[in-house]
Amino acid sequence: MPGCLFCAIAAGDVPSDRVLETDTVVAFRDVNPQAPVHVLVVPRRHVDHLHALPADDPLTGDLVAATQRVAEQEGIAATGYRVVANVGPNAGMSVPHLHLHVLGRRPMGWPPG
């Protein structure tokens, strides 16, 4: 989608610190990390947010698989990690292209802010 930051990152037109890429998904480090591990798992195809992704779309499984691979690669699968998908303004979504935050390597509080 023209003007979409994460479309541009997925296409390689904007640089990012990539940790994983597949045919359908890229994962890269967040520029403003909120934990020692903070990776964004992003579909190459533009989807506005999680609520716009059909549950039976194969991309849904691709995003879950990529999230699990990132956690394994980053060494946080055994100790635990958090996955966050902000949807819309009340959740504080700032980049309108579906992404999963994968956060780990520190204990986290609950409830989130």
The radius of gyration of the chain's CA atoms, rounded to the nearest angstrom, is 13
Cβ proximity to ligand AMP: between 48 and 57 the closer is: 48
Minimum CB separation of residue 5 from ligand AMP in Å reads: 6
Active site residue 97: no
Catalytic residue among 38, 97, 99, 101: 99
Choice between 59 and 95, CB closer to ligand AMP: 95
The residues that touch ligand AMP, with contacts defined as CB under 6 A, are 5, 16, 28, 30-32, 40, 86, 92-95
Is residue 104 classed exposed, middle or buried when 0-12, 13-18 and 19+ CB atoms within 10 A define those classes? buried
**Dist. CA 31–CA 83, nearest whole Å:** 17
Smaller CB separation from ligand AMP, 58 or 109: 109
Q: Which residues of 69-90 are buried (b: 16+ CB within 10 A; e: fewer)?
A: bbbeebebeeeebbbebbeeee
CB of 31 to ligand AMP, least distance (A): 4
- Please identify every residue annotated as catalytic: 99
